[in-house]
Amino acid sequence: MKKNINQKKSFRKQRIHRKMQTLAHWPRLVVFRSLKQISAQIINDEEGKILVSATSLKLKSLKKKNTKTEIAAEIGKLIAKRAQEKNIKKIVFDRSGYKYHGRIKALAEAARKEGLIF
């Protein structure tokens, strides 16, 4: 029997979360991707608080000019700058079961270029 898309995503998500349990003392960069938007949050799981967030909903000026991948890269830069303002340098990247390509990869690489370590 073939596995559907949701089952594959669920298995990827479980595998990612098993690996992240060993690094629970670092804040977690969580990415959510929909068909049109992308958002990222840095969460402190020990306190259960959102430390930094950025979303493409607030970047209305970029939507007319750029592709979704370029917007994701801008979100990566923005989240990294906001994290550095709060003295966050090391994080764990939680891609929420999404494959590491396209917009997710663009966001991660842009955040790395701006100085986040993961």
**DSSP-based three-state secondary structure for 33:** strand
State which amino acid sits at residue 57: L
What residues pair up with 55 in beta bridges, in sequence order?
Answer: 39
**Could you tell me the residue ranges of all domains in the chain?**
5-113
pTM: 0.81
Residue 15's pLDDT is what?
76
Q: What is the pLDDT along the chain (118 residues), one digit of tens a residue?
A: 567 888 887 887 787 777 666 666 889 899 999 999 999 999 988 888 999 999 998 877 666 678 999 999 999 999 999 999 999 999 989 888 888 999 999 999 999 999 999 8
Class of domain 5-113: alpha beta
Phi, psi of 87 (to 5 degrees): 60, 40
Kindly report the number of other CB atoms within 10 A of residue 54's CB atom: 23
DSSP state of 3: -
Helices (H), 25-96: 60-63, 68-85
